[in-house]
């Protein structure tokens, strides 16, 4: 398994070379400002105590409070959290929102916990990190396997410890808890705005474009729905257990119904069962990795047949694979742009909480669209200007913004 933080540093180095970044700024950006490792004892339902290990990495706050989700997964590691916090810094700066980069995680298979255990774990984590977070300091949010309900518990625990309200301490809350309209589908919606811009640039007709989506979580699931509503042909979808494929397109609504009823994607009528690895190598136009890091690697990059890759997951492509894809002229819309819709609406939620406002879903999406469209076009123009990949272009734009705020 490749170390995601090493991958992130390779990406940083590449961008630093392209833009001849000041070497002192480069040195600073190679390290997170602060990382916390905490042990969280949880009383399990059987009365025993189990200790879970959690992290919070605060990478950089030059542009605003540290910002980024909290992931619950058994493979979480400090290096993964550091990498994800670095990508959050780049992501927020790419879309030009007033937020820095942070990320948290707990090593846990949350599917194996009862609701009560999950609640005690989430509250226990906040008890360990609460002095380091706050609406003007570090603002967590959901990530893999964390939900609006968990965000609600975390906000509540934080405010109890603090002694007064601070609703903007955490985003991705349920609407009743001070969440924003549109946050739930924001990541996918942002991805769709990006696809629309890409389609304009490349003169694509949605009904002629075949799309394969890896991942059926909050991001991949909504991507499938929204892109099929836009007329794209969704030919393959997978979840962690496997996937399905029909080269003429899947009926996305029926696929969701089938998964709801059987618990699986496999054995969907009129489709072929496939493995996740197979999905990545299908003959499609747009490949949308929406699951984990390190999916497109030196092992499979030469077998990718898609013409474009929209990275809805964080870090799905390793730097070596990135080079192969670039040589093969496959357009990669990088994670820091493609999936930035989530954190952008998190930023709107934070703004609404801080100003005690409530925006309609329509207002949220109008603002989101304008931010995503502008960021896409800035990245595209930077790519054309320097003849570099979209990832390098996003990094150059983002690092320019962060560097301008670092005083040395």
Cβ nearer to ligand GLU, comparing 179 with 243 = 179
State the nearest-atom distance from the C-beta of 226 to ligand GLU, in Å.
17
Which tokens belong to 125? Answer: 């984590």
| 129 alpha-carbon distance from chain centroid | 22
State the nearest-atom distance from the C-beta of 69 to ligand GLU, in Å.
3
| 333 alpha-carbon distance from chain centroid | 13
| Residue positions annotated with a catalytic role | 103
3-state secondary structure the chain: CCCHHHHHHHHHHHHHHHCCCCHHHHHHHCCCCEEEEEEEEEECCCCCEEEEEEEEEEEECCCCCEEEEEEEECCCCHHHHHHHHHHHHHHHHHCCCCCCEEEEEEECCHHHCCHHHHHHHHHHHHHHHHHHCECCCEEEEECCCCCHHHHHHHHHHHHHHHCCCCHHHCCCCCHHHCCCCCHHHHHHHHHHHHHHHHHHHHCCCHHHCEEEEECCCHHHHHHHHHHHHCCCEEEEEEECCEEEECCCCCCHHHHHHHHHHHCCCCCCCCCEEECHHHHHCCCCCEEEECCCCCCECCCCHHHCCCCEEECCCCCCECHHHHHHHHHCCCEEECHHHHCCHHHHHHHHHHHHHHHCCCCCHHHHHHHHHHHHHHHHHHHHHHHHHHCCCHHHHHHHHHHHHHHHHCCC
| Phi, psi dihedrals of residue 381, rounded to the nearest 5° | -65, -35
State the nearest-atom distance from the C-beta of 87 to ligand GLU, in Å.
7
| Sites of contact with ligand GLU (CB under 6 A) | 67-69, 141, 143, 171-172, 314, 339, 342-343, 346
Cβ nearer to ligand GLU, comparing 171 with 290 = 171
Which tokens belong to 45? Answer: 């339902």
Cβ nearer to ligand GLU, comparing 95 with 250 = 95
d(CA 90, CA 77): 20
State the nearest-atom distance from the C-beta of 256 to ligand GLU, in Å.
23
Cβ nearer to ligand GLU, comparing 126 with 255 = 126
Cβ nearer to ligand GLU, comparing 82 with 233 = 82
d(CA 408, CA 398): 18
State the nearest-atom distance from the C-beta of 368 to ligand GLU, in Å.
12
| Phi, psi dihedrals of residue 244, rounded to the nearest 5° | -135, 155
Cβ nearer to ligand GLU, comparing 171 with 246 = 171
State the nearest-atom distance from the C-beta of 343 to ligand GLU, in Å.
4
State the nearest-atom distance from the C-beta of 254 to ligand GLU, in Å.
29
Cβ nearer to ligand GLU, comparing 118 with 141 = 141
Query: HSE-up of 273 (CA within 13 Å, CB side)?
Result: 7
Q: Which residue is nearest to ligand GLU (CB)?
A: 69
Confirm if 243 and 275 have CB atoms less than 8 A apart: yes
State the nearest-atom distance from the C-beta of 71 to ligand GLU, in Å.
8
Cβ nearer to ligand GLU, comparing 19 with 194 = 194
């Amino acid at each position: 398994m490749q170390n995601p933080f090493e991958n992130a540093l390779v990406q940083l180095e590449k961008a630093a070379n392209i833009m001849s970044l000041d070497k002192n700024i480069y040195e600073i950006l190679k390290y997170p400002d602060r990382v916390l490792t905490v042990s969280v004892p949880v009383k399990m339902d059987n009365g025993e105590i189990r200790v879970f290990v959690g992290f919070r990495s605060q990478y950089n706050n030059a542009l605003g409070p540290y910002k980024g989700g909290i992931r619950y997964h058994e493979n979480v590691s400090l290096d993964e959290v550091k990498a994800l916090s670095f990508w959050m810094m780049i992501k927020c700066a790419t879309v030009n929102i007033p937020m820095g980069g942070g990320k948290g995680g707990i090593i846990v298979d949350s599917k194996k916990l009862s609701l009560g255990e999950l609640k005690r774990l989430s509250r226990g984590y906040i008890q360990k990190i609460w002095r380091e977070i706050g609406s003007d300091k570090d603002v967590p949010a959901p990530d893999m396997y964390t939900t609006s309900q968990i965000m609600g518990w975390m906000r509540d625990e934080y405010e109890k410890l603090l002694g007064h309200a601070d609703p903007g301490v955490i985003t991705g809350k349920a609407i009743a808890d001070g969440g924003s309209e549109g946050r739930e589908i924001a990541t996918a919606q942002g991805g769709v705005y990006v696809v629309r811009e890409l389609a304009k640039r490349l003169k694509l007709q949605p009904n002629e474009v075949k799309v394969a989506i890896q991942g059926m979580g909050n991001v991949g699931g909504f991507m499938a729905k929204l892109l099929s509503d836009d007329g794209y042909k969704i030919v393959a979808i997978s979840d962690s257990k496997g996937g399905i494929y029909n080269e003429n397109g899947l009926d996305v609504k029926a696929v969701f119904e089938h998964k709801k009823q059987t618990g699986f994607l496999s054995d969907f009528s009129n489709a072929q069962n496939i493995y996740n690895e197979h999905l990545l190598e299908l003959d499609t136009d747009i490949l949308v990795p929406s699951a984990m890091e390190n999916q497109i690697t030196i092992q499979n990059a030469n077998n990718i047949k898609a013409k474009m890759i929209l990275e809805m997951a964080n870090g799905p492509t390793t730097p070596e694979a990135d080079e192969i894809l670039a040589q093969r002229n496959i357009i990669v819309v990088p994670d820091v742009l493609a999936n930035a819709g989530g954190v952008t609406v998190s930023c709107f939620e934070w703004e609404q909480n801080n100003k005690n406002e409530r925006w309609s879903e329509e207002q949220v999406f109008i603002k989101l669209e304008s931010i995503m469209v502008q960021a896409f076009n800035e990245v595209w123009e930077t790519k054309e200007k320097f003849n570099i990949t979209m990832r390098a272009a996003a990094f150059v734009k983002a690092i320019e913004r962060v560097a301008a705020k670092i005083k040395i």
